[in-house]
Amino acid sequence: MEQNNELSARQSLDLITETLNRSRKEITRVNGKYFILWGILMTVFSLVVCYFWRISGKAQWNILWFAMPLVGYPFVYHMSKKDEKLPSNMVTKIIKGIWTLYGIFACSMATVCMVIASTFTETSSMGVTPALVLLFGIAESISGIVLKNWFIIIGGWIIGIGGVIIYYLSGVNAEQMLIFAFAGIILALTGVIVKRQNN
């Protein structure tokens, strides 16, 4: 009887593990297209902000970043209607939590820095860009750890570390927006890789 219970417990754990692994694979496959979408949007928005900042000389064009979710979420809504219903489990909740937390941090940091920059002109270049790109890279890498996908982990590392290096090489001017173009391209490429990997 005790041996049967032990076998039953082991079988239950194996079933849970197999279900979570299947769920991770499906979530990774579906998220590939969202990585591509947000990567393209990030690249386009960074180029637009960089262009207007360069011709006007005003960093206030960064306000356009707040429009990116307004453009992106209708696409996400439309794309998600075509998806099979993803299982609601620990993995999906953790991934959602990671990116929600990143969004809250990014919007809060950007807002605080804009308020401080507009109040104290001597602090107009506060270096929020490398912090945002580093946080973005960390969020992607943590997502890769949860999904057990090395391509996502490495993509996040390249975005975070590469973005910070590009920032310090480009200086504090409109060209720093190209960091987000770089991040967007890496994110989109990661999406292409994981979609192909899981099809």
In angstroms, the CA 58 to CA 174 distance is 9
Q: Is residue 176 scored above 90 in pLDDT?
A: no
pLDDT at 183 over 50: yes
Residue 5 confidence (pLDDT) above 60: no
Confidence check: pLDDT of 54 > 90 = no
d(CA 35, CA 191): 5
- Tokens 């996502």 found at: 152
> pLDDT tens digit string along 92-132?
888 889 989 998 988 888 788 777 766 665 544 456 888 88
More confident position, 55 or 31: 55
Decide: 160 and 141 in contact? Cβ < 8 Å: yes
Cα(116)–Cα(49) distance, integer angstroms: 20
Assess contact for 13 and 79: CB atoms under 8 A.
Answer: no
Amino acid 83: pLDDT: 67
pLDDT at 41 > cutoff 80: yes
What pLDDT is stored for residue 7 in this prediction? Answer: 52
Asked whether residue 135 carries a pLDDT value surpassing 70, the answer given is yes
User: Please, how many CA atoms are within 13 Å of residue 77, restricted to the half-sphere of its CB?
Assistant: 6
Tell me: pLDDT of 155 over 90.
yes
Which residue would you say has higher pLDDT here, 11 or 158? 158
Q: Given this model, what pLDDT does residue 6 score?
A: 55
pLDDT at 124: 47
More confident residue, 4 or 27: 27
Q: Which amino acid is residue 176, in one-letter code?
A: Q
User: Residue 85: its pLDDT value, please?
Assistant: 65
With a pLDDT cut of 70, the percent of the chain lying above it is: 81
Span 35-63, mean pLDDT? 90
The pLDDT score that the predictor gives to residue 16 is 67
Per-residue pLDDT at 177 exceeds 50: yes
Measure the CA dihedral 108/119/51/177, to 10°: -40
Mean pLDDT of 139-151: 92
Residue 149, sorted as left (phi over 0), alpha (psi -120 to 50) or beta, turns out to be beta
CA-nearest of 97, 86, 117 to 24 is 86
Per-residue pLDDT at 47 exceeds 90: yes
